[in-house]
Structure 1
Amino acid sequence: MTRSLPGPSDHVVVVGAGLSGLSAALHLLGAGRRVTVVEREALPGGRAGRLDLAGYRIDTGPTVLTMPDLADEAFAAVGDSLAGRVELIPLHPAYRARFADGGTLDVHTEADAMAAEVERFAGAAEAAGYRRLRTWLEQLYRAQLRRFIDANFDSPLGLLNGDLARLAALGGFGRLDSRIGGFLKDERLRRVFSFQALYAGVPPARALAAYAVIAYMDTVAGVYFPRGGMHALPRAMADAAGDAGADLRFGRRVTRLERSGDRVTAVVTDQERIPCDAVVLTPDLPVAYGLLGRRPRRPLRLRHSPSAVVLHAGTDRTWPHLAHHTISFGAAWRGTFDELTRTGRLMSDPSLLITRPTTTDPGLAPPGRHLHYVLAPCPNTDLGPDARAWTDLAPRYRDTLLRELERRGLDGIEAAIEEECLVTPADWQARGHAAGTPFSAAHTFAQTGPFRPRNLVRGTRNAVLAGCGTTPGVGVPTVLLSGKLAAARITGVPRPAAARARTAPAPTNTRTAPAPTKETTA
């Protein structure tokens, strides 16, 4: 059994109403704790925020939702359900991959449909390889979920269990690129099942094969989109928490933590002092450590994932060859990862994620208009251009990006833009994200599992961390689990969601918000 916080925990203050904080709040409420959530912005969501721009409803954070059952587990903690709060639309295809040679592949999550698409694209041998790969991904996921991903670690000895042997037997400690290559020979197909390592901050040639579990989430478990945009998920979680008795306080910036010895006794905001028995901190690690006044001792400095430039474009036209999610691969591959993780140069031949949410939900834009989200990975500010350099670089890079999109078939895109918002590493850094990246600490071997920054901080007995910088890591599913694991540190090991009875206080809807203001990014 892993450690839980000693002492009383009747009233817990959760700092941050992002996905991890809201997940923690729901699990704490389900265990009978009184919960106050403090959020600096005027709305919930954290990284999964919302920007309203002249009728365009823009998700400012993640655009890909997988493993919705993990979100449902948080709702179930208070006797609620995801389906009762959010309409989820399965995406078919989950992605469309477009390659520099002109080839196009639709990524389906249903096995027969995907095998048929792979056969059309690359032949019968590759389709058979895909089926073997799919079986392996399913086995890999089962070996990892409950003992490596959905788990708190107190030391590396926590790895010593039967699932470790199963993971090793599956080749999980080999290299991702070569393991995928054992199933698929077509280099383009191999990209489709390994590009996800980029967001973990490690090139496929160096990433552990165990990270193929992200490809399982994307290509086997399915990709979904909430009607109303990704921000509909944290908004629904906040509503469920409020209905279960949470005190939600928006527009409050935490300025310090009051302490008595090794315990936090109150959270102080720019408007009030909130006494507490325990605290969950969800800001990025440097901010959380700064509030605590201490940080863990690590033999090596944390390495951070690459960052991204994101162009949000509201347009008066669209391009039919785009799916909801389109991955536009450049010709370069290994060299791209060298630029992002070693030399610190902007991608010379970029691979881009283009999301068109109005494909699925036209209501996110004014009538007859379309919303496009273009994500271009780039070096973080530790390795590449720093925040000051982006002041001059941003408009030039925006123009370069639009020219590249024109070259890849989005003809007339610049003239079609009516409203736009460009987000660079400087903006991420200004929001408190270390190294100017929203993807936090990279998932190198030395920063994964029991070696990742723990959600307990030495020297503080009643504080626990949540979010993508701590256990288990980056991504919507893992951040939701991070909140659950933080709550478990306070309440003890939780029962399975299906077995929980609702034990939260009676609904009070004590949400406190400032006067209405323009919604901002989180």
Structure 2
Amino acid sequence: MTRMDPRLGHEVRDARAPHAVVIGAGLGGLASAMRLGARGYRVTVIDRLDVPGGRGSALWRDGHRFDLGPTIVTVPQVFRDLWSATGRSFDDEIDLRALDPFYEIRWPDDSHFTARQDTDAMRAEVARLSPDDLPGYERFLKDAEARYWFGFENLGRRSLHKLWDLIKVLPTFARLRADRSVYAHAASRVRDPRLRMALSFHPLFIGGDPFHVTSMYILVSHLEKEFGVHYAMGGVARIAERMAEIVGEDGGLVRLETDVDEILVRDGRAAGVRLTTGEIVTADLVVSNADAGWTYDHLLRNHARRRWTPPRLERSRWSMGLFVWYFGTKGTRDLWPDVGHHTILNGPRYKGLVEDIFLNGRLSEDMSLYVHRPSVTDPSVAPEGDDTFYVLSPVPHLGHDDPVDWSARCEEYRASVEAVLEQSLIPGFRDRLGPSEIFTPEEFRDRYNAPYGTGFSIEPRILQSAWFRPHNVSEELPGLYLAGAGTHPGAGLPGVISSAEVLDTLVPDPERVR
């Protein structure tokens, strides 16, 4: 039996069905809501923003769409499995375009490396840069595949909240040299410093320091090779919009512009949430897609915690912050024909810059940039003939001893980014600038409740991954579950969507809840 909800016009499940409240309409929260709705739960998703998607949402400015967060889809199968759980076909509803090349990496000496899915093309790129490194590169690919099957398909798609589950796999961790960093593993296979960078930078896209994050994360190289790199027409925001629609179509409710202040506890269990307005929403279970640090430090501030205490969270190592400049350019669609969908511009330093960002907490004068130009694939992101750009620079988070004052430094840093782009990638663009938006770590802190303004929550070091990471089923409060970048298996679209898949195996069947 269903009824129509007058606020959204969606069918809402019978009020007698067990109720699950999901805090946050980010991709992990929406994926959790989709799976719980398919299981028979009555689901309410609550988010403080005015659009679904969280970091995967978008802003529109003068006809330009700025995709705020993730820009690529690397493992489409996790979305296909999610849609299938609701009886739908992802490929029928979302238009994915395979990118070729994936991206181009450029160095200050004008050398470059073009990443593609084709194995022979990649061998040719390696041989062009450093022929002697070709055998080591091929060994690296085999290493990445082994870590993919163990780290993603095995550990990443099941719960690791029991210590025994970790103990059982320790011999495999040792055999695969999980104690070695991503960079150290790349350096053990190839000698050319450019190739070492090209094979080790990927952890930066999930908030990790390549010189300290476990080498298990070289599995990303296999993800790219095996599944390709894709762009969703309409951006990741279109995926998020469709996910929210599915939640509603299946009887759930998505409440936007609604802020959760606290998780409520009754009889030792999660019992719902209190909103900042004072309204109470009762529930049989609660899923938090808010950052794990925010969940434990703020939403559970009135409940005793044993493991994720404020001192424990303060001691944790957090991912870096992000400076992201979104801007449009007028009449440039046919300019810069050598600038594709994704470009990585390297500064003069690699290790030194990473140390400044993660360890020293210092805003360096030099920088490396990730440049996203979606208009070469998706004309809908900009008015006809125009371009939309997204330029990202990793920067220190706000938790260092002398945090960057972005209110004072923002324009200065933007001008530095502009100078690098003007000189190294898109000359003349400053004369054609259109609308512009800038996100600094302060925006990440205030918009997403991200501790220290981090871009990716807790850094995925070896002792902050798997069992050591916040679990999908909370050890602090029965009836509380976690999804998203800050929990297992971690950040990035495959990890975030998989967190909901793991959560789905932990939540009891609806008939057992009451």
Is 1:49 matched with 2:57? yes
Q: Distance in 2 between matches of 1:119 and 1:257?
A: 56
* Residue among 124, 136, 148 paired with 1:129: 136
Q: Could you say if the C-alpha distance between residues 65 and 271 of structure 1 is closer, same or farther in structure 2, counting changes exceeding 3 Å? A: farther
Is 1:17 matched with 2:25? yes
- Per-residue CA deviation, residues 276-322 of structure 1 (Å, 9 max, x unaligned), is 11110111234322222344425742211111100001002242221
- Per-residue CA deviation, residues 384-412 of structure 1 (Å, 9 max, x unaligned), is 7537x110110111111111212213212
SS class of match (1:42): coil
Is 1:428 matched with 2:444? yes
* Structure 2 partner of 1:34: 42
> In 1, are the aligned partners of 2:339 and 2:425 still within 8 Å (CA)?
no
SS class of match (2:273): strand
* Structure 1 partner of 2:269: 263
Q: Which amino acid aligns with 1:158?
A: D
* Residue among 362, 378, 396 paired with 1:361: 378
Q: Distance in 1 between matches of 2:171 and 2:208?
A: 24
Q: Distance in 2 between matches of 1:16 and 1:202?
A: 24
SS class of match (1:197): helix
Q: Distance in 1 between matches of 2:341 and 2:205?
A: 19
> In 2, are the aligned partners of 1:341 and 1:379 still within 8 Å (CA)?
yes
SS class of match (2:141): helix
Q: Which amino acid aligns with 1:281?
A: S
> In 1, are the aligned partners of 2:28 and 2:496 still within 8 Å (CA)?
yes
Is 1:312 matched with 2:326? yes
Is 1:370 matched with 2:387? yes
Deviation at 1:202?
4.1
Deviation at 1:377?
0.5
* Structure 1: gaps of 5 or more residues: 1-7, 493-502, 504-522
* Residue among 64, 75, 82 paired with 1:74: 82
Show the 5 A alignment for 1:179-198: 179-198=185-204
* Residue among 397, 400, 406 paired with 1:390: 406
**Number of aligned positions between the proteins:** 484
* Structure 2 partner of 1:400: 416
* Structure 2 partner of 1:469: 486
* Structure 2 partner of 1:120: 128
> In 2, are the aligned partners of 1:28 and 1:491 still within 8 Å (CA)?
no
Q: Distance in 2 between matches of 1:241 and 1:131?
A: 44
> In 2, are the aligned partners of 1:257 and 1:266 still within 8 Å (CA)?
yes
Q: Distance in 2 between matches of 1:436 and 1:157?
A: 34
Q: Distance in 1 between matches of 2:268 and 2:476?
A: 6
Deviation at 1:229?
1.2
SS class of match (1:268): strand
- Per-residue CA deviation, residues 34-90 of structure 1 (Å, 9 max, x unaligned), is 212122222210111110101001111111221111122111111112112100001
Deviation at 1:272?
4.8
Q: Distance in 2 between matches of 1:421 and 1:392?
A: 16
SS class of match (2:286): strand
TM-score (normalised: structure 1): 0.87
Q: Distance in 2 between matches of 1:266 and 1:380?
A: 32
* Structure 1 partner of 2:339: 322
Deviation at 1:194?
0.6
Show the 5 A alignment for 1:111-510: 111-123=119-131, 125-161=132-168, 164-269=170-275, 270=277, 272-289=279-296, 290-293=298-301, 294=303, 295-297=305-307, 300=312, 301-316=315-330, 317=332, 318-383=335-400, 386=403, 389-431=405-447, 432-491=449-508
> In 2, are the aligned partners of 1:266 and 1:275 still within 8 Å (CA)?
yes
Deviation at 1:147?
3.3
Q: Distance in 2 between matches of 1:175 and 1:276?
A: 43
Q: Report the RMSD for the aligned CA atoms in angstroms.
A: 2.3
More displaced 10-residue stretch of structure 1: 149-158 or 416-425: 149-158
Q: Distance in 1 between matches of 2:388 and 2:401?
A: 29
1 or 2, which has the higher helix percentage?
2
SS class of match (2:307): coil
More displaced 10-residue stretch of structure 1: 258-267 or 348-357: 258-267
Q: Distance in 2 between matches of 1:204 and 1:401?
A: 23
Q: Which amino acid aligns with 2:55?
A: R
Q: Distance in 2 between matches of 1:126 and 1:48?
A: 38
SS class of match (1:341): helix
Q: Distance in 1 between matches of 2:71 and 2:175?
A: 34
Pick 1 or 2: higher relative contact order, CA cutoff 8 A, min separation 6. 1
Q: Which amino acid aligns with 2:461?
A: T
